[in-house]
């Protein structure tokens, strides 16, 4: 792993203008520069680069960030890979930190398997291109299928000879460890006889790459002369620590930039379909490799675009059988269209019948919206049968219900109602009912997971989380603590993947609470590692420096509460883990974080002009924020706790208004006592804030 000092050198050297200029033509626009966005089809310059802040941002599609994140996005690299890219650009020597024995063992196994796969990939290509049998059998097969030599080379296609253990013997002769040759699945050992043989013998080979270009596995196809009576023509590498078929998409490594550029991804079934489309000039295409589409694969596509066209070579019945995968795409927020090829063609055979221009025009002109296609298909099948029509409506309602965006879902409901000649309100009501059932089931599942995690982490006798104890009064009984819990439940859907909550205070009851929490995290990002004061050690009498992040964690722990946003909690935890490392700075660390959600939030917080100093200045001249930490942090923490208490009071009050609850005398008395206890806490916190709390 890259050590912290080397990372800092890379971050210091990386100049946003210098990095972006390698890919975008920039022109001066006042203090900034602008150009056409490389992440979408930008006709008017909307991509801004700020030399002073060392960040970039497209004001049309929203993409951008630090130099590291620009390279991650543009080149589709991981965080460490982007750092290495920049290190090479600026001629910085990479220094790796010492890993633990466990990390070394795990990384060694993975790297060893990747090394073996890379060797195997080259070996397969040499067998096809440099041997008589390879050219006569393997290379001839691809050429007969109509593939040009440049496409064969582009996809690194190969051939495994029809020999029992040719690859096994070659790998051992090259000095590769037998354990890793077997773990990659290139060869198979018969446990009874002890003999080892090649998995892919007498097959043409399709290497499968990760998104960063590493060879993670292989697909082998039996030759046409041997397919008679063979049910399974393709054989893939087995599941391993580096390869999982449900995660990989064939061709994604070669397609990612084209997908981003065209803001569209074509999804096909097989390896040769992808190759044929590349040969026709369509590079934004991936294949699920003949397996049912998985959530991992959908998320991989969604990283690059929300628009997907599923190309089918089957009939309508085949499309109906694939409905689950389509519904999964809709649920992920994808804009889904279908494209049927004529006369039973697949993308490969269709390509052999048409020129590149004809092929691209057909793809462009024959895309059909999935919901419309499904409605027309099922309507034709149902005809005038009331029972079939009822099933049709319920089938479509299921697909409509998984669409997450309200506007998109409403549009589809309207279109479906018009197509079916039904009352729109009826379909809306049916969709709402299904969504309610789905929501209740998700809530039950989350609650089950929460209770299970709580039981494992705390045990049955632990205090309830998030409870606030009034230090100035008698603490309520433990069962009453359980009612003083901040609700609503954790803001997973609003903060785990979204940017800053600052300035988003609305009319809901949690807006003040969330805004105050975001301000706390802003202080961590800006000043987390800085010392705000010295504190006395009660045992030794010595003074110890107290950093901002230490103060925040101590203050939260003292009242048994925690930050509610998962993203905020992540920032706090990582700041605590790294604050004592030499040269560590919270702003730099989080603005260049490998998690793009953390980085986006940190950049927004770090550069937000509405500083905490201004919020508490009340119009008077004040010192810089950094010089007022010892004053600002306690004030902000008190504001935060007060917001939690007020949120709890609102929830208790709402529960007390429930007639069923008030009819339960024991419960109503307990609620009233909780309310009084919380009011006492509110008064005490209000006094610390300098505000009068009215009964």
pLDDT tens sequence across 455-469: 665 544 433 333 333
Q: Per-residue confidence at 660, pLDDT binned at 50, 70, 90?
A: confident
What percent of the chain is predicted at pLDDT more than 70?
Answer: 81
Mean pLDDT of 60-82: 85
Contact present, 476 and 503 (Cβ < 8 Å): no
Question: Structure tokens of 315?
Answer: 């009939």
Give the three-state DSSP class for 50.
strand
pLDDT in the model for residue 541: 66
DSSP H or E stretch at residue 58:
strand 55-58
For residue 406, pLDDT beyond 50: yes
Mean pLDDT of 33-57: 85
pLDDT in the model for residue 473: 37
Mean pLDDT of 330-357: 86
pLDDT in tens, 495-532: 333 333 233 233 344 556 678 888 889 999 988 888 88
Contact present, 273 and 348 (Cβ < 8 Å): yes
Mean pLDDT of 136-158: 94
Selected residue with higher pLDDT from 175 and 344: 175
Query: How far, in whole angstroms, is CA 360 from its chain's centroid?
Result: 31
Selected residue with higher pLDDT from 387 and 428: 428
Mean pLDDT of 58-70: 87
Mean pLDDT of 333-341: 88
> What value does the mean pLDDT of the chain take?
79
Whether this model's pTM surpasses 0.75: no
Helices (H) and strands (E) in the chain, counts: 32, 18
pLDDT in the model for residue 621: 47
Q: Which of 565, 464, 490, 485 is nearest to 524 (CA)?
A: 565
Q: Per-residue confidence at 213, pLDDT binned at 50, 70, 90?
A: confident
Q: Per-residue confidence at 620, pLDDT binned at 50, 70, 90?
A: very low
- CA distance linking residue 616 with residue 157, whole number of Å: 65
CA atoms within a 13 Å half-sphere pointing along the CA-CB vector of 245: 13
Q: For the chain, list the domains and their CATH numbers.
A: 4-89 (3.90.580.10), 101-236 (3.90.980.10), 252-427 (3.40.1360.10), 478-688 (no CATH)
pLDDT in the model for residue 149: 95
pLDDT in the model for residue 507: 36
Query: How far, in whole angstroms, is CA 537 from its chain's centroid?
Result: 44
Number of neighbouring beta carbons within 10 Å of residue 445:
10
pLDDT in tens, 483-499: 222 222 322 333 333 33
DSSP H or E stretch at residue 68:
helix 67-75
CA angle, residues 250, 253, 256, in degrees to nearest 5: 110
pLDDT in the model for residue 362: 92
pLDDT in tens, 6-22: 887 888 788 898 899 88
Mean pLDDT of 588-594: 84
For residue 612, pLDDT beyond 50: no
Alpha-helical (H) ranges within 482-585 are: 492-495, 511-527, 548-558, 566-578
pLDDT in tens, 181-197: 999 999 999 888 889 99
- Residue 531, CA distances (Å) to 211, 291, 627 in order: 42, 55, 10
CA angle, residues 354, 357, 361, in degrees to nearest 5: 95
What percent of the chain is predicted at pLDDT more than 90?
Answer: 22
Q: Per-residue confidence at 76, pLDDT binned at 50, 70, 90?
A: confident
Selected residue with higher pLDDT from 64 and 41: 64
Selected residue with higher pLDDT from 613 and 63: 63
For residue 386, pLDDT beyond 80: no
Selected residue with higher pLDDT from 314 and 151: 151
Question: Structure tokens of 520?
Answer: 């706390």
Of 125-129, 644-648, 681-685, where does the model show the most confidence? 125-129
Which residues pair with residue 58 across a beta bridge?
Answer: 47
CA angle, residues 148, 150, 152, in degrees to nearest 5: 70
- CA distance linking residue 83 with residue 306, whole number of Å: 28
Selected residue with higher pLDDT from 682 and 190: 190
Question: Structure tokens of 192?
Answer: 């009874």
Which residues pair with residue 575 across a beta bridge?
Answer: none
pLDDT in tens, 301-311: 887 788 999 98
Mean pLDDT of 311-340: 77
pLDDT in the model for residue 185: 92
Mean pLDDT of 120-126: 96
Alpha carbon dihedral 44, 301, 231, 353, in 10-degree steps, equals 0
Selected residue with higher pLDDT from 201 and 683: 201
Of 227-241, 375-389, 396-410, 450-464, minimum mean pLDDT range? 450-464
């Amino acid at each position: 792993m890259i050590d912290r000092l080397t990372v800092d050198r890379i971050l210091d050297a990386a100049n946003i203008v210098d990095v972006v200029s390698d890919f975008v033509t920039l022109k001066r626009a006042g203090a900034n520069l602008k150009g056409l966005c490389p992440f979408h089809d930008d006709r008017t310059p909307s991509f801004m680069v700020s030399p002073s802040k060392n960040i970039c941002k497209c004001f049309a599609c929203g993409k951008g960030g630090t130099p590291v994140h620009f390279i991650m996005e543009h080149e589709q690299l991981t965080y460490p890979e982007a750092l290495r890219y920049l290190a090479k650009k600026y001629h910085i020597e990479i220094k790796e930190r010492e890993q633990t024995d466990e990390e070394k063992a795990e990384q060694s196994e993975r790297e060893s398997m990747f090394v073996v796969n890379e060797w195997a990939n080259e070996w397969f290509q040499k067998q096809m291109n440099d041997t008589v049998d390879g050219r006569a059998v393997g290379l001839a097969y691809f050429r007969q299928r109509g593939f040009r030599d440049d496409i064969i080379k582009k996809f690194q296609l190969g051939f495994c000879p029809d020999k029992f253990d040719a690859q096994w013997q070659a790998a051992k002769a090259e000095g590769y460890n037998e354990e890793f040759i077997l773990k990659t699945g290139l060869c198979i050992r018969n446990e009874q006889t002890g003999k080892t043989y090649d998995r892919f013998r007498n097959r043409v080979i399709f290497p499968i790459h990760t998104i960063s270009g590493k060879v993670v596995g292989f697909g082998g196809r039996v030759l046409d002369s041997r397919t008679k009576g063979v049910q399974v023509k393709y054989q893939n590498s087995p599941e391993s620590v580096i390869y999982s078929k449900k995660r990989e998409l064939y061709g994604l490594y070669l397609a990612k930039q084209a997908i981003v550029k065209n803001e569209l991804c074509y999804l096909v079934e097989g390896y040769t379909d992808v190759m044929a489309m590349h040969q026709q000039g369509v590079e934004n295409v991936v294949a699920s490799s003949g397996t049912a589409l998985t959530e991992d694969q959908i998320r991989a596509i969604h990283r690059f675009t929300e628009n997907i066209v599923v190309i089918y070579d089957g009939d309508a019945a085949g499309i109906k059988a694939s409905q689950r995968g389509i519904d999964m795409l809709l649920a992920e927020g994808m804009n889904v269209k279908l494209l049927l090829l004529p006369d039973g063609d697949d993308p490969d055979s269709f390509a052999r019948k048409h020129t590149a221009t004809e092929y691209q025009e057909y793809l462009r002109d024959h895309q059909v919206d999935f919901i419309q296609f499904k409605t027309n298909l099922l309507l034709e099948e149902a005809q005038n049968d009331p029972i079939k029509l009822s099933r049709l409506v319920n089938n479509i309602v299921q697909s409509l219900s998984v669409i997450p965006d309200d506007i998109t879902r409403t549009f589809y409901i309207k279109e479906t109602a018009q197509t079916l000649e039904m009352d729109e309100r009826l379909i809306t009501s049916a969709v709402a009912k299904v969504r309610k059932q789905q929501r209740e089931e998700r809530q039950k599942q989350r609650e089950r997971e929460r209770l299970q995690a709580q039981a494992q982490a705390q045990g049955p006798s632990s205090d309830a989380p998030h409870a606030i104890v009034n230090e100035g009064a008698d603490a309520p009984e433990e069962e009453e603590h359980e009612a003083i819990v901040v609700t609503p439940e954790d803001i997973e859907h609003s903060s785990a993947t979204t940017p800053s909550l600052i300035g988003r205070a609305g009319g809901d009851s949690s807006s003040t609470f969330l805004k105050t929490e975001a301000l706390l995290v802003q202080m961590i990002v800006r000043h987390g590692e800085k010392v705000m004061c010295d504190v006395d050690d009660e045992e030794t009498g010595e003074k110890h420096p107290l950093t901002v992040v230490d103060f925040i964690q101590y203050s939260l722990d003292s009242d048994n509460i925690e930050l509610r946003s998962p993203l905020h909690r992540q920032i706090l935890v990582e700041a605590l883990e790294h604050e004592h490392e030499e040269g560590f700075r919270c702003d730099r660390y989080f603005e260049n974080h490998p998690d793009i959600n953390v980085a986006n939030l940190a950049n927004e917080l770090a550069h937000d002009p509405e500083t905490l100093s201004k919020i508490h200045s009340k119009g008077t001249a004040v010192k810089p924020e950094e010089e007022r930490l010892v004053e600002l942090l306690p004030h902000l923490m008190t504001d935060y706790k007060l917001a939690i208490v007020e949120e709890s009071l609102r929830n208790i009050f709402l529960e007390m208004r429930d007639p069923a609850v008030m009819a339960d005398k024991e419960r109503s008395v307990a609620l009233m006592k909780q309310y009084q206890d919380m009011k006492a806490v509110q008064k005490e916190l209000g006094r610390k804030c300098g505000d009068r709390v009215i009964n």
